[in-house]
Structure 1
Amino acid sequence: MEADSEVIYVIFILYSNCYGIAVCYPGATIFRFILVNCNPAPPTNKNNNHEIWPKCHLYHTFFFIFEETFYDAFDYLMMLLKKYIYIYIFFVFVVHVISMHSNKSLNFMCIHFGLVTIKIEDVRLLSADFAAAAVLISFGAVLGKTNPTQLIIMTLIEIPVFAINEVIGRTYLGAADMGDSMFVHAFGAYFGLAVSLALARGDQSTDKEGSTKTSDTFAMIGTVFLWLYWPSFNAGAAVGDDQHRAIINTYVSLAFCCCTAFAVSCLISGEKKFDMVHIQNSTLAGGVAIGTAADMMVQPWGAALTGIVAGVISVCGYEFLTPAIHRLLKIHDTCGVHNLHGMPALLAGIIGCIVAGMAEEDTYGYGLYQLFPHRVPAEDTDKYAEIAAAGMGLDPSDGWTASHQAGMQILALAITMAFALVGGVLTGLVLRLPLWNDMTTTELYEDIKYWKVEDEEEGGHEGIPMEADPSEREKLNTAR
């Protein structure tokens, strides 16, 4: 425990010093980072803080709710583990903060290093929250089997890999992924599963993996919040017509996924009853599955079909695939991230490829080129002159065809999977080093090593007294 605390202190001091030196408000310059912009499409109004800040606040709230509720896999949520609740506080607060600040720097430094301060802006805060979400998803696969030091080390390795992959996918490949299903959900899920594979141990399944009816109920409340907020998650970074489509598509997909999850859960249950694990998680899979194509014209029937398929594969994944993967590949997925994030995100990438391959100007109008910037014609063409005359404010680009864009979409998904799996395995091997891999069987899924925990049989910690003691009651009665 002392070693864990020392690591946290050292990282905090380093971050504090770097932050004070290299971060400023827009305008001041000390260091220069010659970087590739991960979000190359320029905003229509560079000073629309009145529009961006509510989104930033919404995302920040969303991710904290998000991490509280989705950690549920094969009969247990992270919040539902009988003796592994307090670690959630460390997990969300500390790791989320480290992820955010690391990503703000690394989104600048992915390619070249030079001399300019990192400008902390509201848009960068949103990007940092997305990066933190990827890390938190990854942790869902290894919770209960890793100590705080390992979680921090995993964060510091994963964030650079995440940033490099996102730069390649968005900037060089020009892939569209409005809901970040590929770059956040797929990357986070398979990075975590790869780490879990590298950390595999024979004692990782114990009787401490369980939940109570009360904690299940609280987690279900979080699921309802997620269901309500997911359209904002998928649509928040979009503008204009794209944002409207993203909201509608996400809502339709979630609605049909929810109904499907309930139906399939009852259908595959031997007792023909609903399983809380399925309802807490699989009802949300439609939001992940529609993410990549959320702002595209998938049509309402396409969004509905996406939600139905996502609900089926997610529920069946919890019921059949998770135990099979554990049995055959020794991958222990504590929170079932493969079923809520992994497989639905792969579905999202495939749907995004198909819809992008069908996108034409006849359907989208000039909005096609805002959605796919690399499809803007070259500067010396008549078509670009026509688009420029329409006042779209688009820079000339490569003039990709629909099939070329579709190919880049699927290539971005493949590269994301490669980065996630290879990076995850290498990270897991680092975490296996005896220097910090010190958890014994009795310490798995336990708060007690890192937190002051009272005996559960004695009623927990001392809280605010709800009733006066007898002597005080006597004084009160006398006074009356």
Structure 2
Amino acid sequence: MIWNTNLRWRLPATCLLLQVAMVVLFGVFVRYDHDADPHWIDRQGGENATSDMENEFYYRYPSFQDVHVMIFVGFGFLMTFLQRYGYSSVGFNFLLAAFGIQWALLMQGWFHSYSQGYIHVGVENLINADFCVGSVCVAFGAVLGKVSPVQLLIMTLFQVTLFSVNEFILLSLLEVKDAGGSMTIHTFGAYFGLTVTWILYRPSLHQSKERQSAVYHSDLFAMIGTLFLWMYWPSFNSAVSKHGDAQHRAAINTYCSLAACVLTSVALSSALHKKGKLDMVHIQNATLAGGVAVGTAAEMMLMPYGSLIVGFLCGIISTLGFVYLTPFLESKLRIQDTCGIHNLHGMPGIIGGIVGAVTASCANASVYGAKGLANAFDFDGFKTTWDSSMQGKFQAAGLFVSLAMALVGGIIVGIILKLPFWGQPADGNCFEDSVYWEGPCLRMETEELETKQASKPGSGSRGLGGHILRTTGRRGPGGRSGPSPPK
């Protein structure tokens, strides 16, 4: 089957239509939060603010910067491991995140900060929009290399909508605590992406299998993303925590969990190789699993040693997932997970939800103090009759809601993206920048390949318009998405 990958009208029309819609909706609904409004100076006296430094901007903006870097640099470069898909990994991540933060400001605003006919936007809204887009970036990892930018924009539109609904149910209706988003961001994003890629299953993807491997320089670029994510993850998990001890505790717990995760990931990576060598796939991904798994309980009294235990376990589970589970998912369940998001976000996200439920259930006044316990879990309002056991049950319920929303939403969105007119590449042309990108090196390689193929009819894989794309390359040891295709 010949796929039409020419996006000359489809991509511009989609981008411009979505951006015009954003301009109109922002004009109608979005206004500045009172901390960003010029009337702030009038409110200082009434709010007992003695200086402009007490504005929320100065408290939240450093965390916002860190989270913003994670979304655009961390996630973007983490996915550059594919030897011929670096432009697309960084560029498409840039595109979907830029659109996603706009739509997230609207969707989350309607649910959480809508009053008197307007959405009031401040720096905390910007952080939450980045969180929402982080979930989209997670899902992007599952379909990386197999979809068009138009499909990514459509996926982002629907996923941000579903994410906002799921987040509202968990945080506002169930009163779940999920500071670092183990359930709302990672679990939802991972299983949404896995369900979408399951629906978009490509039976002949082995034609592009050799381009799924890494080369030396592409793995180095991916490691840049890993280091940015690893360094800034304490900010990610603590960015919207309450002022004071909660935010302080979230940063410490994340820091400890990440550190422990590195050692166990390295240990398992070496132990599982017959010559004791390290696999860069594990170092790039499994080392981050501790940050994911400690997210829900980040604000809680998990204790530093508890955080080390969580990171210790996640390094082991995530590494084992890359070695054994990813090949199983592809060969038996037809889930082609390009980046292994099930191992980095899916399983650690579930572990994080379980850790949060157990930690909440065990909370008591002797550990938190009477006021500290009420403040940590908001035991006021309609929750005055709640105890720690009830909070733990609602935490567990939140995990199941996230999974259900992800699976059902992923099926629906996957069916929509499966329609043949979105400009997706053929099975033999996946993981290839030159399908959608123009550049000196790409143009020269394409012309050279056309000349070679003209002298050898029948070889190679033909894309739209007679462009013949390279289908040979170096396979990295083990790859990321399962076993080699049958010979």
So what's the TM-score if we normalise by structure 2? 0.81
Aligned to 2:29: 22
Tell whether the 8 Å contact from 1:79 to 1:85 is kept in structure 2 after alignment.
Answer: yes
Which 10-residue stretch deviates more, 204-213 or 338-347?
Answer: 204-213
Which 10-residue stretch deviates more, 18-27 or 229-238?
Answer: 18-27
Summarize the alignment of residues 347-386 of structure 1 with structure 2, pairs less than 5 Å apart.
347-365=351-369, 366-373=371-378, 375-376=379-380
**Runs of 5+ unmatched residues, structure 2:** 1-6, 36-52, 447-487
Aligned to 1:452: 438
Aligned to 1:142: 143
1:439 corresponds, among 425, 440, 447, to 425
Aligned to 2:11: 4
1:16–1:138 Cα change, 3 Å: same
Letter in 1 for 2:376: L
1:438–1:345 Cα change, 3 Å: closer
Shift of 1:351: 0.5
Equivalent-residue separation in structure 2 for 1:216 and 1:82 (angstroms): 8
Aligned to 2:216: 213
Aligned to 2:63: 55
1:266–1:60 Cα change, 3 Å: same
Secondary structure at 1:81's aligned position in 2? coil
Letter in 2 for 1:297: M
Secondary structure at 2:434's aligned position in 1? coil
Shift of 1:213: 0.8
Summarize the alignment of residues 40-439 of structure 1 with structure 2, pairs less than 5 Å apart.
47-70=55-78, 78-110=79-111, 116-205=117-206, 206=208, 207-238=210-241, 239-365=243-369, 366-373=371-378, 375-376=379-380, 397-436=383-422, 438-439=424-425
Summarize the alignment of residues 456-471 of structure 1 with structure 2, pairs less than 5 Å apart.
none
Tell whether the 8 Å contact from 1:290 to 1:348 is kept in structure 2 after alignment.
Answer: yes
Letter in 2 for 1:213: Y
Shift of 1:271: 2.0
Secondary structure at 2:314's aligned position in 1? helix
1:46–1:195 Cα change, 3 Å: farther
Equivalent-residue separation in structure 2 for 1:325 and 1:440 (angstroms): 22
Shift of 1:134: 0.4
Aligned to 1:467: none
- Once the two structures are superposed, residues 240-297 of structure 1 have per-residue CA deviations (whole angstroms, 9 ceiling, x without a partner) of 1112221221111111111000001000112211100001111111111111111111
Equivalent-residue separation in structure 1 for 2:130 and 2:387 (angstroms): 33
So what's the TM-score if we normalise by structure 1? 0.83
Equivalent-residue separation in structure 2 for 1:183 and 1:457 (angstroms): 42
- Once the two structures are superposed, residues 129-184 of structure 1 have per-residue CA deviations (whole angstroms, 9 ceiling, x without a partner) of 00010011111000111101110110111111100100000111111111111100
1:438–1:262 Cα change, 3 Å: closer
Letter in 2 for 1:53: Y
Equivalent-residue separation in structure 2 for 1:317 and 1:55 (angstroms): 31
Equivalent-residue separation in structure 2 for 1:221 and 1:59 (angstroms): 16
- Report % sequence identity: 39
Equivalent-residue separation in structure 1 for 2:387 and 2:311 (angstroms): 28
Equivalent-residue separation in structure 2 for 1:118 and 1:457 (angstroms): 46
Equivalent-residue separation in structure 2 for 1:124 and 1:95 (angstroms): 18
Tell whether the 8 Å contact from 1:165 to 1:415 is kept in structure 2 after alignment.
Answer: yes
What root-mean-square deviation, in Å, do the aligned CA atoms of Structure 1 and Structure 2 show? 2.2
Shift of 1:12: 1.9
Shift of 1:458: 5.7
Aligned to 2:20: 13
Which 10-residue stretch deviates more, 358-367 or 112-121?
Answer: 112-121
Equivalent-residue separation in structure 1 for 2:443 and 2:320 (angstroms): 37
Equivalent-residue separation in structure 2 for 1:130 and 1:438 (angstroms): 27
**Runs of 5+ unmatched residues, structure 1:** 29-44, 71-77, 377-394, 461-480
Tell whether the 8 Å contact from 2:100 to 2:160 is kept in structure 1 after alignment.
Answer: yes
Equivalent-residue separation in structure 2 for 1:437 and 1:459 (angstroms): 22
Equivalent-residue separation in structure 2 for 1:438 and 1:62 (angstroms): 27
Secondary structure at 2:144's aligned position in 1? coil
Which 10-residue stretch deviates more, 437-446 or 421-430?
Answer: 437-446
Equivalent-residue separation in structure 1 for 2:427 and 2:445 (angstroms): 26
Equivalent-residue separation in structure 2 for 1:115 and 1:400 (angstroms): 32
Aligned to 1:466: none
